[in-house]
Amino acid sequence: MDWLYATCNVTQRFTLRAFADWKVTGRENVPSMGPLVVVANHLSNLDPPLLGASLPRRIRFLAKDTLFVGGPLVRWFLGSYGAFPLNRDGADVRAYRWALNLLNNDGALVVFPEGTRSKNGQMQKAKPGVVGLVRSTKASILPVAITGTERMGTWMRAVNPTGRIRVRIGEVFSLPDIEGRLSKEVTESLNTMIMQRVAELLPEEYRGEYRDLGRSVRSAD
């Protein structure tokens, strides 16, 4: 339901402007159409609604399935906002097919390749699933860096975000066109390339596993 998504984003923007020092740079880099995978570092439960409020395009998410056990109202809200349950304990064929269908219909999907929130604010080693998803759909990739939400513990902080929050949107790119089945080594190399694009947008202290790969960039003030 687009009206719910729009209402949530208007509300989130209001709370961010009212209570936090929030700034977004690079909105002009977001393509208005075509299949798009948004890859971002993951610091807190606030990250999905923050991205919804920050990006000028309708986006959808894969969310851990345990978030959907709060009853029918919670499931309705999450689904209407654009989230689909993902079982992180193994290969979730149902969620993968949902993501493929979304991208094959020119949708935009947010993926947190690390698979879970960082406990120390630094980037963790990414899981390889995003490479197959991008190759199967020929989707473009949009790197996004988030800083400042690591202090936000629970979902309720979405109504009272505080502190300095930055969302830095990089330039869209594509994976190289490689024929045939990828080896584990090539998949890992492509995965690292994707995460490097995110790391390049982050201050050095956030880069973690990708500290030596990200080029130095100016912090988004």
Q: Which pTM does this prediction carry?
A: 0.91
User: Is the confidence at residue 219, as pLDDT, over 50?
Assistant: no
- The top-scoring range by mean pLDDT among 41-45, 69-73, 168-172 is 168-172
Inside any domain, residue 157:
yes
Domain total of the chain: 1
How far apart are the C-alpha atoms of 123 and 105, rounded to whole Å? 31
What pLDDT does 180 receive?
85
Identify the domain containing residue 89 by its residue range: 2-210
Tell the residue number behind the tokens 């919670």, with chain if given: 74
Inside any domain, residue 138:
yes
Q: How confident is the model at residue 89 (pLDDT cuts 50, 70, 90)?
A: confident
How far apart are the C-alpha atoms of 84 and 63, rounded to whole Å? 6
Dihedral Cα 209, 27, 154, 71, nearest 10 deg: -110
What pLDDT does 128 receive?
82
Inside any domain, residue 192:
yes
Burial of 40 (0-12, 13-18, 19+ CB in 10 A): buried
Inside any domain, residue 161:
yes
What pLDDT does 67 receive?
85
Average pLDDT over residues 155-162: 70
Inside any domain, residue 38:
yes
What pLDDT does 218 receive?
43
Q: Is 63 helix (H, G, I), strand (E, B) or coil?
A: strand
User: Is the confidence at residue 174, as pLDDT, over 90?
Assistant: yes
CATH number reported for the structural domain that contains residue 179 in this entry: 3.40.1130.10
Of 123, 105, 122, whose CA–CA distance to 114 is shortest? 123
